[in-house]
Amino acid sequence: MKGGWIQHPFVRLIIVVGLFACFLGLLILGMVLFNYDRQAARYDISAVGRIPQETRVLDASGELIGYLHGEDVGIPVPLESVSPHFLDALISREDARFYRHHGIDRYGLIRAWLRNLKEGQTVQGASTITMQLTRMSYGLTGRTIQRKLLEMAIARRIEKHYSKEEILSQYVNRVFLGTGMNGIEQAAQGYFGKSSSDLTLPEAAMLAGVIRAPNGFSPFRSYETALREMRSTLARMEDEGVISRKELKALVEERPTVLPQSRWMEMLKVQSKVSGQTHLLQMVEDRVAELLPSYAGVGGLTIQTTFDIRLQGASDWSVNQRLAALEGEAGYPNPRLSGHEAGDPAYVQAAVTVVENYTGAIRAVTGGRDFTHSAFNRATQARRPMGSTFKPLVYGTAFERGLFPGVLISDAAIAAGEIRWDKIGWSPQNSDGVFGHSMPAEIGLIKSRNTMTARVGEWAGIDNVLAMMKHAGLGQSETEISPTIYIGTVGASVRDVASAYSVFATGGIRHRPYFIGTINDRDDSLLYQHEGESYRVLSPGAAWLTSTILKRVLEDGGTGAGLRAAGFFAPAGGKTGTTNDFYDAWFAGYTSRLSASVWVGLDQPGTIMEGAYGGKVAMPIWQDIMGEAQRLGYEFTDFAPPEEVIEMQLCRITGQLANEKCRAADTVYVEQVPHDLIPREFCRKH
């Protein structure tokens, strides 16, 4: 029967499955397109129509720190002033269907995918001029499919809002053409010493050929490579019918005269507003890209930061001076900065962050010794074991749970099974190799006793310590639970340590750190303004008790006593930290106004040198910075106590209110107790 085969159950099943698969595929495709259209809608389409300008980065007082993207923005010219030769060469080379598509060249996409599939690697792109302009306008980077789909979605929006001439005008004035040249006018002047309106066809073809690899194809770098790309562009123009075969044969023999690169570099110095890149500027650029992605590649912004350029200078100077002195010590075992030639730096590094206690404003950040050797920011991107600088949080947590500085804590070795939840039988050593008798808890922090700190941690409870760590901005969800955390095996960034220490100066309040205050556009309209965020980390009483001890750490007998001996006498608290085998040296401390954290170590963890304690190699940097802050007018006053502190008789064993049996056992002592930590019960042990 005619058509009876369609009635066959198996055929009908295949048809149904095929139709369902098509429907499902179309549904998924529609959902994907809808998702990326929604993402594209968040980008400010007017950014495409703004010729880049330099973005100025200012410190808190309005002093210029430097410039970001758009430092060298070229010389904008009207489209009608650009040589038609260049426009023809550009379109033939980059986007032959420019006037026939709506942002995405579907034929070009299919052709590129088939070619790349055949070659087994990416050998041909499919970006239209509009898609390239999208990347320029919004700073889109990476080679992922997600980025490509977003780029396509934005390109479609651009085509709906701008004419082809407007798109082409923006493109030719922005396109990067190698060696600091942005836009066709600057490239024409730099390479050939003439206006873009006067370019010959071979010169125009050479510039169009540079676009795909501006530095690699630059005639400054390799004239023969640039010549090859010129001839390739001319061949494309002949394929597209722009020039004849006869013209092609004559033109490929041309060898345009390229002027010396030294001439251009001198011009660049005069024309450009250029600032050397630094860790500070990189931080700002990355943060702006997060806050205002639509403006990431545009420039023309004024960014008011919280940095103090004077304090920043003091931080950078101290890091370089102090570490140079360290490298000059007899027996120093590692490579030195002065001997660095290439590759990742193997010399000793340091990182610093200075933060304002009551606002969270970051005043200075040193991310390493030389940005040109390594852009890695050790103050914000690295997480290194904190060592003993973590211990104040352990004590602060325990104070909130009933411990007091005068309560006796054993300094004996941790016995097997003493930490009942510990599966590895951990028993730490003290730095002097000696175990002691029971001493007041405060001595454990002042002397940085590991065994006492472990027992204080157990008083607080590991879960509470972990919660406090994360609440203070130090925690990671993947932190492995181990009693070694009590003595600082947890990793943290220098910035986060400085922020965590600020709570001891503020009565327990943490102000989330930030470094961008406002961002204004080229019309001085406010685009972004920071809104402060603060929350309580420690109770006022626990913060005060911990701070009282940290002030004693800096006095005679404390691990930070060298600070006073070196001549820094302002009210302050702090803690040194040194990890095993002198891999990491820390000092974190605070005054009434500022908190700062300093780390010294090697990028690839290793011994800095024997005896490289935090008090020796990190604390002097802190002292230099805070000393300069005082000279600059930052006032460091005495710390305010809690609203009410009561003198009370407590039991040295339990920390609870003393009773007659405590007196009989001679365990009664007098403690200064903040009102919010007054014990509610009498001692139950005696």
Cβ contacts of residue 130 below 8 Å, gap of 6+? 95, 98, 103, 155, 158, 159, 167
How many other CB atoms sit within 10 Å of the CB of residue 259?
A: 16
Q: Which residue has the tokens 């204080």?
A: 456
Parallel, antiparallel, or unpaired for β 302-305 and 56-58?
A: parallel
pLDDT reported for residue 660:
95
Rg of the chain over Cα atoms, rounded to whole angstroms, equals 33
What are the C-alpha distances in Å from 526 to residues 123, 521, 532, 539?
A: 44, 7, 17, 37
Where helices occur in 127-255 by DSSP H, the ranges are 129-138, 145-161, 164-174, 184-187, 201-210, 223-239, 245-251
Q: Which long-range contacts (CB under 8 A, 24 or more apart) does 680-685 make?
A: 681/656, 681/657, 682/656, 682/657, 682/658, 683/651, 683/653, 683/654, 683/656, 683/657, 683/658, 683/659, 684/654, 684/656, 685/651, 685/653, 685/654
Residue 250: its pLDDT value, please? 94
Residues 50/136, Cβ–Cβ less than 8 Å:
no
Q: What's the whole-model pTM score? A: 0.74
| Full DSSP string of 445-493 | HHTT-HHHHHHHHHHH-HHHHHHHHHHTT---TTPPP-GGGGGT-SEE-
pLDDT digits (tens, 9 = 90+) for 185-195: 999 999 999 99
Q: What pLDDT, on the 0 to 100 scale, is given for residue 268?
A: 73
- The backbone torsions φ and ψ at residue 474, rounded to the nearest 5 degrees and listed phi first, read -105, -15
Residue 1 confidence (pLDDT): 44
**What is the Cα–Cα distance from 412 to 55, expressed in whole angstroms?**
60
Backbone angles phi, psi at 649, to 5 degrees: -95, 120
**Separation of alpha carbons 515 and 362, rounded Å:** 5
Q: What is the DSSP string of 193-219?
A: SS-GGG--HHHHHHHHHHTTSTTTS-T
Closest CA to 206 of 74, 81, 72, 85: 85
Contact 274, 71 (CB under 8 A): yes
- Show contacts of 74-78: CB within 8 Å, 24+ apart: 74/173, 74/174, 74/181, 74/182, 74/183, 74/185, 74/186, 75/183, 75/185, 75/186, 75/189, 76/51, 76/173, 76/183, 76/185, 77/173, 77/183, 77/184, 77/185, 77/196, 77/197, 78/169
How many CA atoms are closer than 13 Å to the CA of 16, on its beta-carbon side? Answer: 8
Judge whether 351 and 379 are in contact, CB under 8 Å: yes
332-348 pLDDT, tens digit each: 999 999 999 888 999 99
Q: Residues with Cβ < 8 Å from 395, sequence gap 6 or more?
A: 403, 441, 444, 445, 453, 456, 546, 549
Q: What is the pLDDT of residue 264?
A: 87
pLDDT (0 to 100) of residue 147: 79
Q: Which residues of the chain fall short of a pLDDT of 70?
A: 1-8, 10-13, 15-37, 51-52, 69-73, 108-126, 269-276, 296-298, 476-479
Residue found under tokens 């304690």: 613
Residues whose CB is less than 8 angstroms from the CB of residue 384 and which lie 6 or more positions away in sequence, other chains included: 491, 492, 579, 584, 599, 601, 605
- In b/e form, how buried is each residue of 70-91, taking b as 16+ CB within 10 angstroms? bbbbbbbbeeeebbebbbbbbb
